């Protein structure tokens, strides 16, 4: 294996911190090394070793390469039974699948499986429910070949198995010194572990029909909006009717894709492809659960509310969601919709309370956290806003949106240097972010740097020209105080350029 020295990893971590705002602690250097090795594998001719790779990152094409590296760096962020509620939901769905007629196998795909913790957790859940390996087709894929190799090895240090319930650990793993190895009996539940890039045309299909369940958690958050939509369309196509999509907790299809029904299963929110021939209701609605399934609550939003409201294809604004009652049980999207309805009535405090309640009940999620941060800003609770933005960034350090709105917040607090740094990070992650170019221009002005301010304003106009709809792009969070019309930013950038 190509050596990568600890000092080189430290230099790379410092570069990631400076350019993207991603903080990688030394105890995650092993994952960083895996990511570098995966890139060296691809770049064999141009960067044969870590030294050459670091110079490539520091050179003219450095940004482009850093963008390739980023999704791989996140490989370390995984654990066994990550988001336990989702595994309880899977467990609750299993009897329904087992009761199916014929000898249909249960078909599950773990897409973006990282080093294997997720597919082995799925396998343990199925084994504990009494499924036999032959009753399951379980595929595990990841774009990073080093991660795939680690998943196939199934060998984990003690600290990485601490989330596995003790009785599962003793049933499914063998101790080897300080580490634990997956037993062959558990490995047999996994049909294949292999590389696959989700940003590709061909998606794997099970031997018969479509997938019953696709796990793709904490992967799409790093894709840009068009890629995310494309991937979701392909998942939709790859799933069997009635199949389930498990996304990461902070990944919401809100305003991104409306082909799935948001469904609550035992406290976890899952996306379900509608059964063939079923008619999708158009109003908020709770559908009774089919007899073979556990307690399931279907939450439907009007399709227009899920469509990106800012695209040219949406000529009229989506219907205003209804305000919500204080103690209603709500899905994450409903919380957001309810808060948006309250904001549109000018009830900022009530919207804030609703979202705070959501965080209390469901834990952090990016869209809610960002919307809340913005509301604190509107309510002039600046310390809380700062904490909420930092919380959002701790949750998803690679969210361009979180860097963008934190930057805007810092600028409003006259912290031009911090704002410029955050906005540059946002632009590194998404160079088309016209809003970030515009606010970077304002930060540069505040820093008394007219030359760089001019450049940023010109980039604003350029970026908006590239956006076909001429509108601000859709964000996960909701920002009532930012104009939706991109033309307003072009005009503001033009005025600023004329004045400079």
Site for ligand SAM, rule CB under 6 A: 71-72, 74-75, 77-78, 82, 112, 114, 118, 142-144, 147, 197-199, 217-219, 248
The pair of structure tokens assigned to 369 is 């956290």
Report how far residue 418's alpha carbon sits from residue 87's, in angstroms, rounded to the nearest whole number.
40
Least Cβ distance, residue 387 to ligand SAM (angstroms): 24
By beta-carbon proximity to ligand SAM, the closer residue of 133 and 248 is: 248
Report how far residue 245's alpha carbon sits from residue 226's, in angstroms, rounded to the nearest whole number.
19
How many CA atoms lie less than 13 Å away from 328 in the CB half-sphere?
Answer: 14
Least Cβ distance, residue 147 to ligand SAM (angstroms): 5
Least Cβ distance, residue 78 to ligand SAM (angstroms): 3
Chain centroid, CA 351 distance in Å: 24
Residues whose CB falls within 8 Å of the CB of residue 417, separated by 6 or more in sequence, listed in order: 447
By beta-carbon proximity to ligand SAM, the closer residue of 110 and 443 is: 110
By beta-carbon proximity to ligand SAM, the closer residue of 75 and 342 is: 75
Report how far residue 343's alpha carbon sits from residue 349's, in angstroms, rounded to the nearest whole number.
9
The pair of structure tokens assigned to 334 is 């409903």
DSSP state of 209: S
By beta-carbon proximity to ligand SAM, the closer residue of 154 and 377 is: 154
Least Cβ distance, residue 279 to ligand SAM (angstroms): 33
Least Cβ distance, residue 350 to ligand SAM (angstroms): 34
Terminal C-alpha separation, the chain = 54
Least Cβ distance, residue 461 to ligand SAM (angstroms): 31
By beta-carbon proximity to ligand SAM, the closer residue of 96 and 397 is: 397
By beta-carbon proximity to ligand SAM, the closer residue of 197 and 208 is: 197
| Helix (H) or strand (E) segment spanning residue 495 | helix 486-499
The pair of structure tokens assigned to 370 is 């960002």
> Rg for the chain (alpha carbons), in Å?
23
Least Cβ distance, residue 258 to ligand SAM (angstroms): 23
Q: What share of the chain is helix, strand, coil (3-state, %, to 5)?
A: 50, 10, 35
By beta-carbon proximity to ligand SAM, the closer residue of 265 and 440 is: 265
Least Cβ distance, residue 133 to ligand SAM (angstroms): 22
DSSP state of 26: G
| Helix (H) or strand (E) segment spanning residue 299 | strand 296-299
By beta-carbon proximity to ligand SAM, the closer residue of 214 and 341 is: 214
Least Cβ distance, residue 386 to ligand SAM (angstroms): 26
Least Cβ distance, residue 120 to ligand SAM (angstroms): 11
Q: Is 467 exposed, middle or buried (0-12, 13-18, 19+ CB in 10 A)?
A: middle
Least Cβ distance, residue 3 to ligand SAM (angstroms): 22
**Helical spans, DSSP H, in 307-399:** 332-344, 348-362, 366-378, 382-395
Least Cβ distance, residue 70 to ligand SAM (angstroms): 9
Question: Which residue in this structure is represented by tokens 């329904």?
Answer: 96
By beta-carbon proximity to ligand SAM, the closer residue of 24 and 463 is: 24
Local structure of 466: helix, strand or coil: helix
Residues whose CB falls within 8 Å of the CB of residue 187, separated by 6 or more in sequence, listed in order: 154
Residues whose CB falls within 8 Å of the CB of residue 83, separated by 6 or more in sequence, listed in order: 217, 248, 249, 268
By beta-carbon proximity to ligand SAM, the closer residue of 244 and 438 is: 244
Q: Is 293 exposed, middle or buried (0-12, 13-18, 19+ CB in 10 A)?
A: middle
Closest CA to 19 of 366, 405, 422: 422
Closest CA to 84 of 112, 125, 123, 133: 125
By beta-carbon proximity to ligand SAM, the closer residue of 232 and 411 is: 232
Report how far residue 146's alpha carbon sits from residue 32's, in angstroms, rounded to the nearest whole number.
11
By beta-carbon proximity to ligand SAM, the closer residue of 78 and 263 is: 78
Closest CA to 198 of 243, 233, 245: 233
Least Cβ distance, residue 472 to ligand SAM (angstroms): 26
DSSP 119-154: HHHHHHHHHHTT--GGGEEEEEEES-HHHHHHHHHT
The pair of structure tokens assigned to 159 is 């600290």
By beta-carbon proximity to ligand SAM, the closer residue of 39 and 409 is: 39
């Amino acid at each position: 294996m190509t050596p990568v020295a600890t000092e080189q990893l430290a230099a790379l971590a410092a570069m990631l911190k400076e350019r993207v705002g991603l903080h990688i602690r030394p105890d995650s250097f092993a994952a960083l090394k895996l990511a570098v090795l995966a890139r060296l594998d691809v770049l064999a001719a141009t960067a044969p070793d870590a030294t050459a790779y670091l110079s490539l990152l520091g050179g003219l094409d450095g940004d482009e390469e850093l963008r390739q590296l980023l999704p791989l760096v996140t490989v370390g962020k995984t654990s066994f039974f990550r988001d336990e509620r989702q595994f309880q939901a899977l467990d609750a769905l299993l009897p329904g699948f087992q009761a199916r007629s014929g000898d249909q196998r249960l078909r599950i795909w773990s897409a973006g499986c990282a080093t294997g913790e997720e597919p082995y957790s799925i396998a343990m859940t199925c084994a504990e429910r009494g499924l036999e390996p032959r009753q399951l087709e379980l595929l595990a894929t990841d774009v990073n070949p080093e991660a795939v190799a680690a998943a196939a090895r199934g060998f984990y240090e003690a600290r990485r198995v601490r989330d596995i319930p003790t009785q599962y650990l003793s049933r499914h793993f063998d101790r080897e010194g300080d580490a634990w190895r997956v037993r062959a009996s558990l490995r047999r539940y996994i049909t294949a572990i292999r590389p696959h890039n989700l940003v590709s045309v061909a998606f794997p299909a099970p031997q018969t029909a479509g997938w019953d369940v696709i796990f793709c958690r904490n992967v799409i958050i790093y894709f840009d909006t068009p890629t995310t939509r494309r991937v979701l369309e392909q998942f939709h196509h790859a799933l069997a009717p009635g199949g389930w999509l498990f996304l990461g907790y902070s990944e919401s299809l809100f305003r991104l894709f409306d082909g799935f029904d948001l469904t609550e299963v035992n406290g976890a929110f899952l996306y379900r492809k509608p059964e063939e021939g079923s008619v999708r209701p158009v109003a908020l609605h709770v559908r009774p659960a089919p007899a073979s399934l556990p307690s399931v609550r279907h939450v439907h939003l009007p399709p227009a509310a899920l469509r990106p409201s800012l695209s040219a294809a949406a000529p009229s604004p989506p219907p205003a969601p209804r305000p919500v009652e204080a103690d209603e049980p709500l899905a994450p999207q409903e919380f957001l919709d309810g808060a948006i309805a309250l904001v549109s009535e000018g009830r900022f405090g009530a919207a804030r309370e609703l979202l705070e309640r959501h965080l209390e009940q469901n834990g952090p999620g990016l869209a809610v956290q960002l919307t809340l941060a913005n509301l604190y800003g509107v309510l002039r609770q600046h310390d809380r806003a700062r904490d909420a933005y930092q919380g959002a960034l701790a949750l998803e350090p690679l969210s361009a949106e979180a860097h963008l709105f934190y930057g805007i917040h810092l600028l409003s607090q006259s912290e031009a240097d911090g704002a410029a740094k955050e906005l540059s990070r946002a632009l590194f992650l998404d160079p088309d972010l016209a809003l970030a170019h515009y606010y970077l221009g304002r930060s540069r002005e505040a820093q008394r740097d007219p030359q760089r301010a001019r450049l940023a304003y010109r980039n604003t106009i350029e970026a908006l020209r590239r956006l076909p709809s001429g509108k601000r792009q859709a964000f996960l969070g909701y920002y009532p105080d930012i104009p939706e019309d991109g033309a307003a930013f072009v005009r503001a950038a033009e005025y600023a350029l004329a004045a400079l």
